[in-house]
Amino acid sequence: MKTTSPLARVTETLLLTAFLVLVLAIAVQGAFQTRAQIADTFNRQSAIGQAQIMLEELLRLQIVEEDSLRGYVLTKDPFYVDQYHAAVLDFDDKLATIRATIAAQQVPVVQSALAQYASYQDGWRRHIASQVLQRPDALVSDLDKRSKVYSDYETRAATLVRSELADRNRALAASTQEQIDESAYVRAFFLLLFGLLAILFNAYRSRAYRELEEEKYTTQILQRAFRSEVVPLPNCRVGGAYLSASSHLAVGGDVFDVYRLSNRLALLIIADVSGKGVDAAVLTAFIKFTIRGIALRRRDPNAILAEFNTAFSQTVENPYLFVSMFVGILDTDTYVLRYASAGHDSAFVRRSTGVQQLAVTGPVLGVMEEPFGDRMLNLEPGDTLVLATDGLTEARRDSGEQLREQGAMRLIAAAAVEPQALCDELVAQVRAIGGNHLRDDLAILAIQIAPSEASHA
Amino acid sequence: MRSVAVLALAAAYLLGCTAGAWADCKLRGGEHVVLYGSADDPSVLAWDSAERLREYNAASFDEARALALHAIDLSPGTRAQVVSCRPDFVQSQTADVVGDAVGVLILTGSYRGLTRWVLSTDIRDVDRAKKQHH
């Protein structure tokens, strides 16, 4: 099965997330840009619309000028002269405004036509209106005819301006519509793209989550193989505790094992691999099952250690790895314990008279090929064999002071009678000493010869 | 009244109206019309020839002022009778408008009895308007 490394998975997730954010940013930026474009077009269209309205107002003022002049010729009433001059001012003001608006919109055809229109109106004022005002006896018919050509040409120019502005307005309206349509298409595209990416991202996440679940399941299976286990023994009460210095791992470099070799004989192991974490845990599994295999053939603890030492040296290529180990074979009928200790000094027996440390019988494993001695210990009902790793004896206070063997023996002496309760108490004590912080893995195995079943044959 | 009819017939003859020319005109010979320009500029220039009418609409401003000597300025609402027509004879210089040159006999106002040429867009058809009204 192809698996993805965690680093690659994180990288892929980050890349996908970055891409999603990028697409989203482009879509948002595009939306703002489109909005600005549409607003600009709309403003231009609005300006053209204003120009159209002003043009009609300009034409109205032109008529007012002409009508005022005609009214003056017919009535000679100075009111019409004032009206004429007011209309001239309004006209010029309006013309300036519309010319500025058109200039801002850069429509040369309209600018030119508007200039033409203005020149016609100016010509009319100079050649017709001013002469009539100076010569009040002018006839209306004469005025009308002379004005007619100016009027016609102004109308033509105004028609051109009107037509061009209308065309411009229509073009801008079409452009606005086009931009809105385009914006809708672009947004739809990005929405679709974003949606697809989100679906892909979700699918990827699901796959990654599934892989993680599979890994978790596999880890649980493997942990079961690595975990130290206790099994019930006849005439005995057994307890055990295990703590890994790596808080997120259920395995470490310490291991203990209780394994029944026969109806009477039980194999007892406790070992401490140099190092911590998963690498050390893999070795503990190797130790556990290799010792079991050897012990099924050989019942001498020293021979078991010797054979394991050879296998360990040949199997593990790392010269810096070593193992301290206590191996015991307990006869659950006679309570005789034969044991060998490869540099493992955290082995104790608690009797009614006190706690005694069990002697080391050889060097640690993986260092040198030397014979291991073994010892025999007669246990009595009520006696408790306490096997631990250096996580107990090297438990350290914040001041740096270690518990050491003497401290461990004091704790064991004061601990509960029942083996599991004893193990739990020792764990609690180690935690308390270290300020709830473990510096090393800790394994404890306690086997008590059952007091109630002490009467053997 | 009889004199007006005689004048109309004479004008029709003089203006050289042909049956073919009428075919493409919106107006028909003998129709009574009212002359009216645009709302902004309702008076109507009437010309002594169709050619001058056409030239005026295509001329520059200075040329137009010179040509205007051959035109009379008719008040809006002047009544007339159609006596001749040249379809699509006039092309406006600025506005893309093609108009007929229409020969009319002026029936009211100080120019009553004169025949002149006007642009078809300055003509309102009284007879047709009456029919639509009824």
Query: Per-residue pLDDT tens for A330-346?
Result: 999 999 999 999 999 99
Contact assignment for A148 to B95 by CB distance below 8 Å: no
The lowest-confidence range among A9-13, A55-59, A182-186, B94-98 is: B94-98
CA distance B54 to chain A (A): 14
Contact assignment for A156 to B45 by CB distance below 8 Å: no
Task: Round the CA-based radius of gyration of chain A to a whole number and report it.
Answer: 52
Contact assignment for A156 to B38 by CB distance below 8 Å: no
pLDDT for res A454: 46
Q: What is the mean pLDDT of residues A288-313?
A: 92
**What token pair was written down for A109?**
């055809």
Among A residues 163-182, those touching chain B with beta carbons less than 8 Å apart: 163
- For residue A330, give the nearest of A437, A257, A405 by alpha carbon: A257
Contact assignment for A149 to B61 by CB distance below 8 Å: yes
Q: What is the mean pLDDT of residues A12-39?
A: 82
Q: For residue B134, what are the contacts with CB-CB under 8 A and spacing of at least 6?
A: none
Candidates A55, A143, A146, A156, partner chain B, best to mutate (most B CBs within 10 A): A156
**pLDDT at residue A359 above 50?**
yes
Contact assignment for A153 to B38 by CB distance below 8 Å: no
pLDDT for res A457: 37
**pLDDT at residue B17 above 70?**
no
Contact assignment for A149 to B40 by CB distance below 8 Å: no
pLDDT for res B98: 82
pLDDT for res A398: 79
**How many residues comprise chain A?**
457
- For residue B92, give the nearest of B127, B58, B45, B134 by alpha carbon: B58
Q: Residue A159: which of B68, B71, B95 has the nearest Cβ?
A: B95
**What token pair was written down for A407?**
């401290």
- For residue A251, give the nearest of A242, A260, A259, A262 by alpha carbon: A242
**What token pair was written down for A166?**
């209308």
Report the amino acid identity of residue A108: P
**pLDDT at residue A53 above 50?**
yes
- What does each C-alpha distance from B19 to A23, A47, A74, A157, A309 come to in angstroms? 75, 52, 46, 37, 133
Contact assignment for B40 to A141 by CB distance below 8 Å: no
**pLDDT at residue A379 above 90?**
yes
In this structure, how many other beta carbons lie within 10 angstroms of the beta carbon of residue A92? Answer: 15
Interchain CB contact of A156 with B (< 8 Å): yes
> Considering only alpha carbons, which residue of chain B is nearest residue A61?
B40
Residues of A in contact with B45 (CB under 8 A): 148, 152
**pLDDT at residue A327 above 60?**
yes
- For residue A244, give the nearest of A394, A438, A403 by alpha carbon: A438
CA distance B95 to chain A (A): 7
* Domain residue spans of chain B: 2-133
pLDDT for res B131: 63
Strands (E), A246-391: 254-260, 265-273, 323-331, 336-342, 347-351, 354-357, 375-378, 384-388
Q: What is the mean pLDDT of residues A78-99?
A: 95
Q: For residue A180, what are the contacts with CB-CB under 8 A and spacing of at least 6?
A: A38
- For residue B72, give the nearest of B90, B38, B49 by alpha carbon: B49
Q: How confident is the model at residue A370 (pLDDT cuts 50, 70, 90)?
A: confident
Q: What H or E segment, with its residue span, contains residue B99?
A: strand B98-106
Contact assignment for B68 to A148 by CB distance below 8 Å: yes
**pLDDT at residue A455 above 70?**
no
Q: What is the mean pLDDT of residues A227-250?
A: 80
Residues of B in contact with A62 (CB under 8 A): 40
Residues of A in contact with B64 (CB under 8 A): 149, 152-153
Cα–Cα dist A188/A179, whole Å: 14
CA distance A199 to chain B (A): 59
Candidates A148, A153, A159, partner chain B, best to mutate (most B CBs within 10 A): A148
- ipTM of the prediction: 0.73
Chain mean pLDDT for chain A: 87
In this structure, how many other beta carbons lie within 10 angstroms of the beta carbon of residue B112? Answer: 13
Cα–Cα dist A164/A119, whole Å: 19
Candidates B94, B97, B121, B122, partner chain A, best to mutate (most A CBs within 10 A): B94
Strands (E), A352-406: 354-357, 375-378, 384-388
Contact assignment for A148 to B73 by CB distance below 8 Å: yes
Interchain CB contact of A144 with B (< 8 Å): yes
CA distance B74 to chain A (A): 9
Cα–Cα dist A346/A161, whole Å: 107
Q: Residue B61: which of A141, A153, A160 has the nearest Cβ?
A: A153
Residues of B in contact with A156 (CB under 8 A): 92-95
Interchain CB contact of A152 with B (< 8 Å): yes
